[in-house]
Amino acid sequence: MVAALLAALVLSLLGPAAASADGGPTLTPIDPAAAITFYGRGWGHGVGMSQYGARGRALAGQTSTDILAHYYAGTTPGALDPGTQVRVLVLSGFAATAKVPAVLYGRRTTWSIDGIAKVFPPEAKLRLWPVIGSTRWNLKVTSATGVVLYRTTVRRQLIMRSATPAGMLQVYSRPSLNDLYRGMLRVYLTTRVAVVNEVGLDTYLRGVVPAEMPSSWPTEALNAQAIAARSYAARRLRPGISTYDVYDDTRSQVYLGVRGERAATNAAIAATAGIVLKSGSMIVNALFHSTGGGATENNENVFVAASGAIVAGPVSYLRGSPDRAEDGTSFDAGAPYATWHTTAYTGVALSAIVAKDPRTNVGALSGIDLSHRGVSGRLVSVTLVGALGTKTVSGDVFRSVFNAGRPALDPQLRSTLFDSQPIP
């Protein structure tokens, strides 16, 4: 009660969106009955290359060199063997049983399993399931017509290879249609099944670039994406240290394997073969995101603690900057989420949303501080004032809490570049 009275007193003294005399919080009062709408720009974290910004720059006549020089300032091109192996986790935690075994196929060409002196025909099926009461696993290979070709038991791992580069390997147990891969498959057998696709870096990119950027986009934007994606993956190579280098989803960059490949993006990968970005002698951490909203952000202002505290050091090539043409038009103006807004919520409704998470629950909201921003205007932190006190969280924590707590059909906060008034 005391906290609520103090908060109300502060707000009455400061007025709407007013800062304290000592440079303290800028509080926007929350009226229980009045509506508040969040207006925003962009989609994604806002660090590094804006993909829709790259598209806009390419349409304006910029080359991939121009595009990359803007988003990764001070970097230089370097070379890496396109065949450098990258290990991609494509299946994990699969609980195989005798009734539902792990299933893989060799497609198009003959294939083999390391350590087994036998070559299997195209379209043959490999099944794996645990031996009850043992650390060993049953292995059975059958032909396309169901004839048993080989059976044994194995332990720990096996490697599956196509006989020629034209061959493909299918992880049929993967819960997705994007389950067909080039290169080889390393299958790890513990209490569950994990599968890692080991493949040349530029071959891997054939399943990445069209998943991260539409293949219909301008050639120079695709070239920029190929170089950024190659650099991102190369930066994460850890041979001999772990069982895989990257995930196949947004925890790294999306990888769809063979089924994702497209002619235009294959051409972009070939045109930029082996090119990576470097800062000094190091391959850069070439982060990218969908839509910058007219500006990109400094890395240290985005990857912060849950409290909004700055914990990362600045990276020289991940500096935020305006992303607009000379006439002020945002290069990503053609993006679906170049600008957006949420539904209007009463103070009572907004209080209920943030109360669903203990990190943001302050009871009945009386004010919100949206003043702690980075160079692009993205929120570094958000401070909530309410009947139970005051809490400060990072802009991204607030965004995730809001998105999780809002009615399911209501628009999301697409980025941390938002305010209670439209952003120019």
What are the pLDDT digits (tens) for 315-328? Answer: 999 999 999 999 99
- Relative orientation angle of helices 395-405 and 347-354, to the nearest 10 degrees: 100
Q: Is residue 227 part of a domain?
A: yes
Do residues 219 and 174 make contact, with C-beta atoms less than 8 angstroms apart? no
Q: Is residue 277 part of a domain?
A: yes
Q: Does one domain contain both 124 and 238?
A: no
Do residues 377 and 423 make contact, with C-beta atoms less than 8 angstroms apart? yes
Q: Is residue 378 part of a domain?
A: yes
Of 259, 286, 313, at which residue does a domain stop? 286
Q: Does one domain contain both 223 and 356?
A: no
Q: Does one domain contain both 22 and 139?
A: no
Tell me how far apart the alpha carbons of residues 389 and 406 are, in angstroms, rounded to a whole number.
22
Q: Does one domain contain both 66 and 208?
A: yes
Q: Does one domain contain both 168 and 131?
A: yes
Q: Does one domain contain both 23 and 44?
A: yes
Q: Is residue 196 part of a domain?
A: no
Q: Does one domain contain both 356 and 396?
A: yes
The pLDDT of residue 1: 35
The pLDDT of residue 10: 28
Q: Does one domain contain both 354 and 411?
A: yes
Q: Does one domain contain both 106 and 146?
A: yes
Q: Does one domain contain both 175 and 117?
A: yes
The pLDDT of residue 26: 82
Which residues of the chain carry a pLDDT beneath 50? 1-23
- Relative orientation angle of helices 64-71 and 51-59, to the nearest 10 degrees: 140
Q: Is residue 16 part of a domain?
A: yes
Of 286, 313, 343, at which residue does a domain stop? 286
Number of domains in the chain: 3
Q: Is residue 90 part of a domain?
A: no
Q: Is residue 114 part of a domain?
A: yes
Residue 64: domain span: 49-83+203-286
Of 150, 167, 191, at which residue does a domain stop? 191
Average pLDDT over all residues of the chain = 94
Q: Is 285 helix (H, G, I), strand (E, B) or coil?
A: coil
Q: Does one domain contain both 13 and 68?
A: no
Q: Does one domain contain both 175 and 237?
A: no
Alpha-helix runs per DSSP H in 155-290: 201-205, 209-212, 219-235, 263-271
Q: Is residue 91 part of a domain?
A: no
The pLDDT of residue 240: 87
Only one residue has tokens 């196929």, namely 105
Do residues 268 and 18 make contact, with C-beta atoms less than 8 angstroms apart? no
